[in-house]
Amino acid sequence: MQILADENIPFVQEAFGTLGTVRTRPGRQITRADLASTDVLLVRSVTPVNAALLEGTPVRFVGSATIGTDHVDLDYLAQRGIAFAHAPGSNAESVVEYVLAALYVLARRHDRPLRGQTVGIVGCGNIGGRLAQRVPALGAAVLCCDPPKAEQAEREGRPHAYRPLAEVLAAADVVTVHVPFTRTGPHPTYHLLNAETLRQMPAQAWLLNTSRGAVVDNPALRAAREAGHLGGVVLDVWEGEPEPDVALLRRVDLATPHIAGYSYDGKVAGTRMLYDAVTAHFGLEASWTAEAELAAGLEDRLALTPPAADRPEGDPEVDWMHALIRQMYDIEADDARMRSLADQPAGDRAATFTALRKHYPRRRTFALHTLPGAAVPPAYRTAVAEGLRVRLV
């Protein structure tokens, strides 16, 4: 079997090398010519998979090591009889942990505790649904918006708590977006948050986008920030990737290069899901296991140190939780690396953005970390154990 893969898929040689010959290419540089003798194509979100790429090639299977599928023309694959698999849920925990880390950075910078706030979650699938389960443990209320899920519940006669977008935007202190990217259909998400919908948010509300860049109208968001609207903004995804709007980058609180889902555990899980799909589709014997790769990296498991107060004037819980999270994931370091892009010549920014993703440091899931339970203040125990899912020992 001839396999071509995005070079950023972890362990692709180790896993798929058991099934055939594996070649790798940068995802943005994969062309039709590369597929002239390819049976299986494995991509991430940066490779558009459509007729322009596949027509006239022998590709029989396409796999995407991602949750989203907006970069894949699924109708074309179906018409051609090309099998497809992706990795829904593989990096959901990673994105949830990114959002939690970002929330405590915002809370610390703006001297605003999370406890007592209302978090609006737009899109309640693999990621948003998990986030909705975790946020209440931090002392915040949740409002969920997911029109497709609401309509399904109503068709089936089931009660639900999903609220309309306008209601969530108006009522939430924090809005975090976790929708697939679509331009058509009953609920398109292209520029879901635009000049009009951004105005519906309270002036000091926080906005986080980890879904796709074009779900938020970037020029409209930049204009809102320039006008002093919105108290905090976190962007992991950008219109025009890998060349984000530098003026917008300078006006957000946290800027990262589309790495919210880039935990080591999530990426390995994505590879495992594609490997299982390929072996099942072609009736091949599976001989590679992700468990071995995950176990080999357990030196990253940390025994966390109980934080000490470092700001007499700050909110004690916010500072304590921020310091604890930073031992597991320093999102501000990601932000600092991303900001270096703004000072580079325009022609170098795309390469820098791509390199930041390719050489992303290894980040492990919070659930691998331990903390002495006796060292956790009783008032924070639920937030640590159920919100962060750190293991108390």
Residues 6 or more apart whose Cβ sits within 8 Å of residue 169: 120, 175, 197, 200, 201
**Token pair recorded at residue 374:** 């006796």
> What does the alpha-carbon distance between residue 216 and residue 59 come to, in Å, rounded to a whole number?
34
> What does the alpha-carbon distance between residue 345 and residue 236 come to, in Å, rounded to a whole number?
21
Closest CA to 70 of 187, 189, 174: 189
- Exactly one of 191, 212, 322, 363 is catalytic; which is it? 212
Closest CA to 277 of 1, 85, 19, 49: 85
337 in active site: no
Local structure of residue 216 (DSSP, 8 states): B
- Exactly one of 112, 258, 337, 389 is catalytic; which is it? 258
258 in active site: yes
Long-range contacts of residues 20-26, Cβ cutoff 8 Å, at least 24 apart: 26/354
281 in active site: no
Give the alpha-carbon dihedral of 187, 189, 193, 196, to 10 degrees. -50
3-state secondary structure of 340: helix
> What does the alpha-carbon distance between residue 190 and residue 172 come to, in Å, rounded to a whole number?
21
- Exactly one of 93, 97, 239, 241 is catalytic; which is it? 241
> What does the alpha-carbon distance between residue 57 and residue 27 come to, in Å, rounded to a whole number?
18
Question: Which region holds residue 30: left if phi is over 0, alpha if psi is between -120 and 50, else beta?
Answer: beta
Which are the catalytic amino acids? 212, 241, 258
